Amino acid sequence: MRHRRHPRSTHAVVAALVAASLLLAGCGGGDDEEAPSEAAPSEPTSSETSEPPEPTYWPLTGLERTTGAPKHPVIVTKVDNTSSSSPQVGLGSADLVVEELVEGGYTRLAAFYYSKVPANIGPVRSMRASDIGIVPEGATVVTSGAAPITIKRINGAGIPWITEGAAGVYRETSRSAPYNLFAHLADISKRLKAKDEPPAYLPWGTEADLPKGGKASTLTADFGAHSTSWAFQEGGYVNTDSYAAEGDQFPADSVLVLRVEIGDAGYRDPAGYPVPETKFEGKGSALLFHGGRVIRGTWTKDGLTGAIELATKDGDLTVPAGHVWVELVPAVNGTVTFAK
């Protein structure tokens, strides 16, 4: 402790002080001031003790999200995918696209929007019962409607949908029916409210997580009357036979091909073709195209609303975060070819 000075009122006190000073001088090196005591460590502030916030990710791309979640749900729009749809509008803004078989060996697209919503999308076409296994829980579908048997099943699955007659769904006068139904998707999204944030649509990872795989710079998914071809160019995949408007093609970072069983939906379309139904549940073979390579694996899905799981013979398989086009190619009567 620090020494205190006392009044010098008597000789005894003086003598005692002199003696004490001599003793201190011999023991303490002649300095009559103590060095300051070491300061006690200060309590850490809240900013020093708090952990950095956990990163959040977009459920349809796996990319890190730096903003809050949108107030609207995932919006899935059914888009025509024949030459009559050209040019398709709005695909360039989609987070993810699923291509599914419809009657006659042709295909239809389910375009998913969440992180970004375009002003307009189309041509909008009808739903299929296959969509029960494709549309994520909590999503809203924009469609031109469906056959009565399909509407009954879609409603039974609890999937909300919007069609002609609702605000924001309109006919484009420069096109011919039935390829002239469009939707002001940005306006529609403002009127929709999300209940919960959706779960991840695919098992997301990074490119570093992938097995080596084999070279594959081109691929074609053939559904019968229609085929979709891709070429790996400048780090991504370009749909070389796309019907999308110029500059509005889907920016695919990966193409995921899942071989699926096809059943009969139980009715025929107006042209007399039996309507197929994709059975997107159970298991099947998978091909993941990324970075100019292909990884072989399998997919599993526990029921129509189950999560999509991917695996190779060595363990779980993840999809590098980014924009993915999913091809649901029939296991029978469908083919997938690729080349180096």
3-state secondary structure of 181: strand
Judged against a pLDDT cut of 60, whether residue 193 lies above it is answered with yes
Between 3 and 169, the more confident residue is 169
As a whole number, mean pLDDT of residues 15-34 equals: 38
In this structure, the number of other CB atoms found within 10 A of the CB of residue 92 comes to 16
- What CA–CA distance (Å, rounded) separates 317 from 300? 11
Q: Can you give the pTM of this predicted structure?
A: 0.85
Distance CA 52, CA 60 (A): 24
Would 150 be classed as within a structural domain? Answer: yes
Decide if 126 contacts 146 (C-beta within 8 A): yes
What's phi and psi for 282, nearest 5 deg? 90, -125
Residue 48 lies in a domain: no
Q: Is pLDDT at 5 greater than 50 in this prediction?
A: no
Predicted pLDDT at 21: 42
Compute the distance between CA of residue 94 and CA of residue 51 in angstroms, rounded to an integer: 34
Strands of 173-307, DSSP E: 181-183, 204-205, 214-215, 218-222, 227-233, 236-239, 254-268, 274-279, 282-290, 293-301
The amino acid that residue 149 corresponds to is I
**Could you report the per-residue pLDDT of 308-328, keeping only the tens digit for each?**
999 999 999 999 999 999 999
Does residue 253 belong to any structural domain of this protein? Answer: yes
Query: How far is it, in rounded angstroms, from Cα 84 to Cα 172?
Result: 14
Q: What is the pLDDT of residue 42?
A: 55
Task: Determine the Cα–Cα distance for residues 323 and 27; give it in Å rounded to an integer.
Answer: 78
Give the mean pLDDT of 126-154: 97
Give first-to-last CA distance, the chain, whole Å: 83
pLDDT at position 269 is 87
Note the pLDDT of residue 50.
72
Q: What is the pLDDT of residue 148?
A: 95
Q: Residue 3 above 90 pLDDT?
A: no
Q: Which domain holds residue 314?
A: 59-339
Q: What is the reported pLDDT for 271?
A: 85
206 near 62, Cβ under 8 Å?
no
Give me the CATH number covering residue 325: 3.50.90.10
73-98: pLDDT as tens digits: 999 999 999 999 999 999 999 999 99
Q: Average of pLDDT values for 121-146? A: 97
Please determine, for residue 10, whether its predicted confidence score (pLDDT) is greater than 80.
no
pLDDT tens, residue by residue, 197-249: 999 999 999 999 999 999 999 999 999 999 999 999 999 999 999 999 999 99
Question: Which pLDDT value is given to residue 246?
Answer: 95
The closest of 209, 323, 258, 234 to 100, measured between CA atoms, is 258
Average pLDDT of the residues in 148-163: 97
| pLDDT at position 171 over 60 | yes
Count of structural domains, the chain: 1
What is the pLDDT at residue 53? 81
